[in-house]
Structures are given as C-alpha cells and as structure tokens.
Amino acid sequence: MKKLFELCGKPLTTFVCVAMAIAMFATPEMASAKKKKTIGIQLYSVMDAMKKDPKASVERLGDMGYNSFELVQWGGDPKVFGLPANEFKALCDKNGAKITSTHSGIQEDPAKEDEIMARWRQLFETQKACGGKYFVIPSYGVDYTVKDVQRMCDYFNRVGKIAAEYGLKIGYHNHSGEFKKLKDSDKVMWEYLVENTDPKYVCLELDVYWCTKGGKSPVEYLKKYPKRIELLHIKDDFVIGESGTIDFEGIFTQFYKNGMKNYFVEIETPQYIRDKKNADGSKYTQEQIMNEVFEAAQKSIEYLNNAKFVKK
C-alpha cells in the first residue's frame, strides 16, 4: 500500500493510481449495482406492435431493460414475427435480449399423427435456431374428464420426447379454468396434468395471475411442485404490482428457493384501454393502444427493478 501511494505522487501515474484505488476499495455492493436484473417479457404483450414493426418494438423493449424474451408462433408458423429465425435472433442479440422460450401449440389429431409430429419438428427447429430452451403450449382444448386429460398428458409426453432431441423442453401455460376439478374426479385438472406428465420432458409455466383468479395460491403450488414449475408468467390487472392482489414477493421468494429463475412479464390489454376515446370522441387507434401497453411495460419493469425481492 505504501508503494502505491509513493507511486501515485508522480504526475504521469496519477490516472492509473486512481483507477487502481477505485478497484481496491470498491465494495461488493458497488459491483453488484452494475449488474442488471434479468427481466423477461412475453412478446404477446405487444403483439400488434410486433406484427407491424418487430424491429422498432424489440428496440423499444430493449431500451426499457427487458433482456429475456418469450416469443409467439401461433398456428405453427415457422417464422418469427414474419422474419426467419436467424434474423430475429440477430435483432434480439443486437438489443441485448436473449430468447428463452416461445408459445405455440398443435392440437392432437390421431388420424394425422405423422403430419402433426412433422409440424412440431419444424417448430422445434425454429426455436433451436433462436437459441431458446423452452417451448410452451399456451392452451389446449380438452374435455375435463380423467380419460381425456390423461390422453392430453400422453400427447404432451410424446411431443416432449421429440423436443428433447432439439435440446428443448415442453411446457404448459395455464389460464384460470385449469384449476377446476375434473368432471369425474375430485382431482384439480392442473394438478392431474402436473402429476401425469413426465418431468424429464414436460414442465409447467405457472401464470400467477390466472392461478390466483382460479382460486388457488401460486406460492402453495410452488411449494408443492418445486421442480415442475420452471417458468412463471408475472401478470397483474395491467401494470405489475399496481392492483395489490398478487403476492409477488412470496412468489419470487419461493421460486428462487426452488432453484428457478426464468420468468416473463405478460401484459394483457384490459377492455377499458381498448374502449378509450380521444377528445374528439374518436376511438383510440391500435397504435395509441399499443403505446399504453408499452407504458405499462415500462412501469412494470421499474417495479421489478425496484423490488428488493427480485434478484439480479
């Protein structure tokens, strides 16, 4: 230390010494403050904007600080918001965002099993090219009987095995209906799905908002199925944290305790935003509606960045 101060007395070395001193006396808190939180967003949140101008939309979200994306490929579209997978990945990379997951699904059709599986493979190739790890089925049409839900589970297991060939894992995203009991059993449909899919090939993406609206506790499910829920949708009535009805602190705390980390903000445009009018009585344009959603996304990431219970 004495030699350092002797050296710093020479004018030519002053700048170097200042840098050395900062490095020596920097606290862990100073270092960690520079590390950004990984905060994801489901791009469905701004779907109309993404379809119109994916480049501007990705740039806008990247500027806000979102650095993990979950995509949408409805209808089995091999392109990503109209772009080839490699081009869309390059766009995300340029804006500091990694692609972690995607949403898409194909309903089972026993009469066209080979065709269906070939379509799945095409989707998996796209997601692999994007660099993602997860492929989430956002919803699935099924009659809530033990027989039909078991068939759904068997189908997911088969699709999951194929996904594994591409280094991916299948997931399932819930709404509120999955927390009803089966028609011919006391078992809750979502719980049956968890317990009858293969954990090697299938995981769950728990939408904490719809779980809460379905009358169940996300925290209790995170405790009950600690290794099955690998992804979260962080959602509120509109802006994350504003309604006060979702236990985000409890949810994040338990999720991290389970050893998990990947989550995505999802913003669904409420009807009152869609019904907004301008001063002249004209209805909001789609661009105005999207601007409201982008503002909600900005407020949501500010909430998560300021929340001490959300880790870096």
186 DSSP assignment: S
Report the predicted TM-score, pTM, of the whole model to 2 decimal places.
Answer: 0.89
Listed residue (292, 310, 286, 275) closest to 238, CA to CA: 292
What mean pLDDT is predicted for residues 236-248?
98
Residue-wise pLDDT tens digits, 248-287: 999 999 999 999 999 999 999 999 999 999 999 999 999 9
Where on the phi/psi map is residue 34: left (φ > 0), alpha (ψ -120 to 50), or beta? alpha
* Tokens of residue 17, six digits: 């010494």
Residue-wise pLDDT tens digits, 95-118: 999 999 999 999 999 999 999 999
Which is more confidently placed, 189 or 36? 189
pLDDT at 5 over 80: no
Rounded to the nearest angstrom, the gap between the alpha carbon of residue 34 and the centroid of all alpha carbons in its chain is 23
| 77 confidence band (pLDDT: 50, 70, 90) | confident
| 76 confidence band (pLDDT: 50, 70, 90) | low
| 73 confidence band (pLDDT: 50, 70, 90) | confident
Least confident of 16-20, 142-146, 201-205, 206-210: 16-20
Give all domains of the chain, ordered by start, each with its CATH number: 1-35 (no CATH), 36-306 (3.20.20.150)
Q: CA-based diameter of the chain, in Å?
A: 85
Least confident of 22-31, 208-217, 235-244: 22-31
DSSP 16-66: HHHHHHHHHH--HHHHHHTSPP--EEEGGGGHHHHHH-HHHHHHHHHHHT-
pLDDT at 84 over 70: yes
Q: How does 43-70 read in b/e, with b if 16+ C-beta sit within 10 Å?
A: bbbbbebbeeebeebbebbbebbbbbbb
What mean pLDDT is predicted for residues 161-171?
98
Average pLDDT, the chain: 91
pLDDT at 4 over 70: no
pLDDT at 32 over 80: no
What type of residue is 53?
D
The whole-number pLDDT of residue 74 equals: 72
pLDDT at 75 over 60: yes
pLDDT at 26 over 60: no
pLDDT at 6 over 70: no
The whole-number pLDDT of residue 281 equals: 97
pLDDT at 11 over 70: no
